[in-house]
Amino acid sequence: MSWRIDLGSTARRSTILGGSGSISVLEERAVALRHTGLRFFVITDVNVRAACGDRVSDSLGAAAGKDVLTMPAGEATKTVASAAVCWEWLAARGARRDDFVVALGGGVVGDLAGFVASTHLRGMPLWQIPTSLLAQVDSSVGGKTAVNLDAGKNLVGSFYQPDLVVVDPELLGTLPAPEFANGLVEVVKCALLDDSDLLESLETQAALVRCRDPRTIERLVERCVVYKTAVVEDDEREKGQRAVLNLGHTTAHALEVSLGYGVLSHGRAVGLGLLVALAVSETMFGLPAEVRKRTESLLLALDLPTRAELTAVSTLLDAASRDKKVSAGTSGFVCLKALGRPAWGVDVPPEVLKAALEVIRL
Amino acid sequence: MSWRIDLGSTARRSTILGGSGSISVLEERAVALRHTGLRFFVITDVNVRAACGDRVSDSLGAAAGKDVLTMPAGEATKTVASAAVCWEWLAARGARRDDFVVALGGGVVGDLAGFVASTHLRGMPLWQIPTSLLAQVDSSVGGKTAVNLDAGKNLVGSFYQPDLVVVDPELLGTLPAPEFANGLVEVVKCALLDDSDLLESLETQAALVRCRDPRTIERLVERCVVYKTAVVEDDEREKGQRAVLNLGHTTAHALEVSLGYGVLSHGRAVGLGLLVALAVSETMFGLPAEVRKRTESLLLALDLPTRAELTAVSTLLDAASRDKKVSAGTSGFVCLKALGRPAWGVDVPPEVLKAALEVIRL
């Protein structure tokens, strides 16, 4: 079962190929491009290289040239200094404007290599091969690239659609359980935003999802990507509607900042953020509490936390108000008016947010 | 005499305002934006700050907020490390997505601040206030931003149209003579590319140009900007025709690399590169030698060199073949088929280039 989505209305056209075994397209493309003399520059990390680097590297074997840069794994790699390492690496190898940057990895590699591709020689062709569930359903689709600054996460980056995204669930085989759970949170987020029966499917298939049944995962990934690409096509540069994808993220970022990065994984923070956003939505829009109860049960069924230590609520509120997604004059908070009906740019009074935080207090 | 050009077909709309005193528009805009709470982040260098920083800073006095970052002057500032300084500075001051980055300076500041604006929070509004003749006629128009790597110049950057460019000849008052002459080379380049009587105007007005007659300079700047914007609108991302703007640059970059950066200024290198490109055009396209003779006389009349020490021709030829503007499979050389009729992507045999270099040998 393979699928394909073409984004045509974005600044750069993009094709997403999905399904088990879709990674084999790399070999086809490498063969097709062989006579052009174009080369492939793969950027990956040590963990991914060990898990599936050979498979991808072999697939590109027919290309006129290929080279692999292996970065350390983890968020600490997503820096300006790492970008400089990638840029100098490309330059030293004489990368040309038409050569390909291939981002092989999870969100960190995808964001970093995407930023590098978007800026090296003012933009090179980019292929994204996401190897984590989170990257498959979220970061590899939509064309946001980024690196972190000392001052905060994702503060520097670009909007740059990859020419090709290959979303192959077979690459998830070796993904550690906590990483897998992180990705599931984005699936839950999509289910809340999407006006379809995705939430119900998740609820009935939670056991299959938890044991990573390949067909189930494949279908979930496809549905999330279809939903996300529709939103991105309408609003590539996040002038408005695309902001709905930040559901749960204002609180998540604030939790990460106030607890210290790494204490809570980003996925788990977003899961908690979703519950807070739903509680806020109850106050602001009269969303039935049932939506939050269902979400809470679903998160538990997927082995995800629904409570956290809240030691510094004032720090947390400060952090939420500083969240970078904020534009001048709005708090940029995303709520649900009803299941599948998000509202963005909601101006949430601090006391409402403070009260809502209580629903996740341990 | 003021003028205005609107670029509408580029990825981001851009307005260029020109003429003596056009800088006063800053004050009008600052007043108009005051109620929005939007702030201005001016990036400049020490020399420009001394020459006209107060004037610009005062103009923005009515804004809700303004801040100035003063970088060291010179090409050595155009690095990834400098970009990181700018990014952290913006982040520390809580710059938001709708706030303005104002690039106040010559090509180095414009390229650096433009790159920073295009990537901070994935893109902030950008105003370019070029203060050198070279920046007024060339780098501030067209939306190319860049920083240098250890491996070479301008290897990292973006295509990012400024929202506003203010081209005020009054800002050129304190420009040192060698800097002024560097800018004149770009005017000569435009005259060769443009299918109009610009070359003739330059020839008849060389004395007025050399003594910087304000009205003459103002008209020349306008004509160059009009020519350049037309080319950029047709081909923003340099897929084809925009490459004509690189006339003279392949040899210029090679001269700079083989002699060592700083030995020959970029403008002077381009002047020599123009003569080489014309000599190549004579061999490849039968361009009459008269065009090169006229250009040589004009460069001399403008106090620009027409000869250089050529010590390492083989290094120079290597450097020319590695020039970053090269796409796979073409040498990317720009020639003239006739005055005002450029050809780009010309595959020039090394022996032709080698022979052409003799016309500039001291």
pLDDT in tens, B124-158: 999 999 999 999 998 888 899 999 999 888 999 99
Q: Report CB contact under 8 Å: A159, B120.
A: no
Looking at the structure, tell me whether residues B123 and B14 fall in a common domain: yes
Residue B61 burial class via C-beta count within 10 angstroms: exposed 0-12, middle 13-18, buried 19 and up? exposed
Q: What is the pLDDT of residues B268-289, one digit of tens each?
A: 999 999 999 999 999 999 999 9
CB contact at 8 A, B303 and B246: no
Could you tell me if B240 lies within 8 Å of chain A, comparing CB atoms? no
Chain B residues within 8 A of A161 when measuring between CB atoms: none
Confidence of residue A131 (pLDDT cuts 50, 70, 90): very high
Q: Inspect the interface and report whether the beta carbons of B152 and A91 lie closer than 8 Å.
A: yes
Asked if B258 and B324 sit in the same domain, the reply is yes
Question: With pLDDT > 90 as the criterion, what percentage of chain B qualifies?
Answer: 73
Instruction: Select from B120, B142, B172 the last residue of a domain.
Output: B172
Higher per-residue pLDDT: A322 or B198: B198
**pLDDT tens for each residue of A188-209:** 999 999 988 999 999 999 999 9
> Average pLDDT of chain A?
91
B11, B36, B238: residue with CB nearest A11: B11
With an 8 Å Cβ cutoff, are B155 and A326 in contact?
Answer: no
A 158-177 residues inside an 8 A Cβ radius of B = 158-159
- Please tell me the predicted confidence (pLDDT) of residue A327: 46
Per-residue pLDDT tens over the stretch B331-352: 579 999 999 999 998 989 989 9
Q: What's the whole-number mean pLDDT along residues A330-346?
A: 88
> CA-based Rg of chain A, rounded to a whole angstrom?
20
Under 8 Å between Cβ of B242 and B235: yes
Q: Do A31 and A167 sit in the same domain of this protein?
A: yes
* pLDDT confidence band for B322 (50 / 70 / 90): low
CB contact under 8 A, A121 and B152: no
**Residue after which a domain boundary falls, among B114, B138, B172:** B172
| A140 and A157 co-located in one domain | yes
Q: A149 and B94: CB-CB below 8 Å?
A: no
CATH code, A239: 1.20.1090.10
Mean model confidence pLDDT for chain B? 91
Count contacts between A and B (CB, < 8 Å): 105
* A8 touches B at CB < 8 Å: no
Average pLDDT over residues A268-272: 94
A19–chain B nearest CA distance, Å: 31
Q: Do A149 and B324 touch (CB under 8 A)?
A: no
> Do residue B158 and residue A119 have CB atoms under 8 angstroms apart?
yes
Beta partners for B144? B159
Alpha-carbon torsion, ordered B79, B84, B85, B90, to 10 deg: 130
Cβ–Cβ of B123/A94 closer than 8 Å?
Answer: no
Q: How far is A325 from chain B (nearest CA, A)?
A: 8
> CATH no. for residue A87?
3.40.50.1970
Residue range A35-40: mean pLDDT, rounded: 94
Residue B324 with chain A: CB contacts under 8 Å: 121
Q: How far is B242 from chain A (nearest CA, A)?
A: 14
Q: Rounded to two decimals, what is the model's pTM?
A: 0.92
Confirm or reject contact between B149 and chain A (CB < 8 A).
yes
Pair (B155, B72) in one structural domain: yes
Question: Is pLDDT above 50 for B330?
Answer: no
Phi-psi domain of B104 (left: phi exceeds 0; alpha: psi -120 through 50; beta: other): beta
- Residue B174 in contact with residue B193, Cβ under 8 Å? no
Chain A positions in Cβ-Cβ contact with residue B119 (cut-off 8 Å): 115, 119, 156-158
Q: Is A99 on the interface with B (CB under 8 A)?
A: yes
Co-location of B193 and B160 in the same domain: no
Backbone phi, then psi, for B199, in 5-degree steps? Answer: -60, -45
Query: What confidence score (pLDDT) does residue A282 get?
Result: 98
Axis crossing angle, helix A249-259 with helix A313-322, rounded to the nearest 10: 130
Find the radius of gyration of the CA atoms of chain B. 20
Q: At what angle do helices A177-193 and A289-301 cross, to 10 degrees?
A: 160
**B229 and B204 within one domain:** yes
The structure tokens listed for A330 are: 């709005």
pLDDT at B328: 41
- Residue B56's contacts (CB-CB under 8 Å, 6 or more residues apart) are B23, B26, B42, B44, B102, B104, B129
Contact check, Cβ <8 Å, B158/A118: yes
pLDDT tens for each residue of B218-260:
999 999 999 999 999 988 888 888 999 999 998 998 888 787 7
The catalytic residues of B are: 122, 144, 186, 228, 238, 242, 246, 249, 253, 266
* End-of-domain residue from the set B149, B172, B195: B172
Alpha carbons within 13 A on the beta-carbon side of B361:
12
Q: Could you tell me the residue range of the domain that residue B325 belongs to?
A: 177-360
A36/B contact by beta carbon, under 8 A: yes
Output phi, psi for A189, to 5 deg: -60, -50
| Predicted local confidence at residue A63, as pLDDT | 87
Q: How high is the pLDDT of residue A322?
A: 66
Q: Residue A318: pLDDT band by 50, 70, 90 thresholds?
A: confident
Q: Is A122 within 8 Å of chain B by CB?
A: yes
Chain B residue numbers with beta carbons less than 8 Å from the beta carbon of A246 are none
What residues of A are labeled active site? Answer: 122, 144, 186, 228, 238, 242, 246, 249, 253, 266
Same-domain check for residues B196 and B284: yes
Token pair 């809700």 in the structure block, residue:
B64
pLDDT of residue A265: 85
What are the chain A neighbours of B89 within 8 Å (beta carbons)?
Answer: none
B230 touches chain A (CB under 8 A): no
Q: Is A94 on the interface with B (CB under 8 A)?
A: yes
| B157 in the same domain as B94 | yes
Cα separations (Å) of B92 from A104, B49, B116, B168, B321?
Answer: 32, 22, 14, 31, 43
Q: What is the mean pLDDT of residues A25-52?
A: 94
- Is B326's Cβ below 8 Å from some Cβ in A? yes
CB contact under 8 A, A324 and B121: yes
Selected for mutation to probe chain B from A88, A122, A158, A257 (highest B CB count within 10 Å) is A122
Q: Is there a single domain that holds both residue B101 and residue B121?
A: yes
Number of domains in chain B: 2
Least CB–CB distance from A92: residue in B119, B151, B324: B151
Note the pLDDT of residue B326: 47
Q: Do residues B125 and B192 share a domain?
A: no
Q: Across the interface, which of B11, B37, B119 has its CB nearest the CB of A156?
A: B119
Q: Is A150 on the interface with B (CB under 8 A)?
A: yes
A35 neighbourhood in chain B, CB within 8 Å:
none
Q: Are residues A206 and A181 in the same domain?
A: yes
Predicted local confidence at residue B331, as pLDDT: 53
Q: Does B28 touch chain A (CB under 8 A)?
A: no
- The answer to whether A326 faces chain B, any CB pair under 8 Å, is yes
Residue of A nearest to B84 (CA): A80
Rounded to 5 degrees, φ, ψ at A168 are: -105, 110
- Inter-chain CB proximity A36 and B328 less than 8 Å: yes
